Structure 1
Amino acid sequence: MNGHKVGEYQRDNSGSNSFIYDNSWLNSPGRRSLSLSLPLRPGRITGAAVYNFFDNLLPDSRNIRERMVARFKTQSTEPFDILSQVGRDCVGAIQLLPSGAESLVQS
């Protein structure tokens, strides 16, 4: 968020989504939750709240999502798959980057 690592969005082998806040973010004076549905706390957050938060970063239109799949060669219209390709350019202050990648935002 705004060039700082907040946490990790993950999907396991069963397809379940999870999010975990990074310890550096939890200890940062500027820390805040990504959403009221993703409370700021240590440990893995799972369930519909995680899926819905990341799903809402994408267009609602099924047609547009299918065009994104075709253009970016993603595996499906699922948020994790699409955001793995276009997450650097989300609306607002959030960027989703592959592990080890650096933010485009200068801190």
Structure 2
Amino acid sequence: MSKSTGQFYEQQALVFLQQQGLQLVQQNYSCRFGEIDLVMREQQTLVFVEVKFRRSSNFGGAAAAVTLSKQQKLSRTALCYLQSVGQQHCRFDVVAITEQPADICWIKNAFAGTVN
């Protein structure tokens, strides 16, 4: 998948989450541990969002692509972010987008990071 395709679907996820009432804090936060697609806020909670896109739901679909190693990498990156802003309370969500059939699936609290 090209970078522009990834950016397109991240933008789709951002619009979707904003329609659900979340506010954008930062897009594409990166540090030495990795990158977080979207950092959002829902009331007092920081929400770290991983956006995954797949053309079809074959082979487990987009959500299945957030493996344990990916979760650990996101958790380390989130800890780096939290230390820089001095906040504690957060959660990890996944927005899984499938092209065929067209679907956006928002998984709140998709996994427990080590920062909670």
TM bracket (short chain): under 0.3
TM-score when normalising by structure 2: 0.25
Normalized per residue, the structure richer in strand is 2
TM-score when normalising by structure 1: 0.27
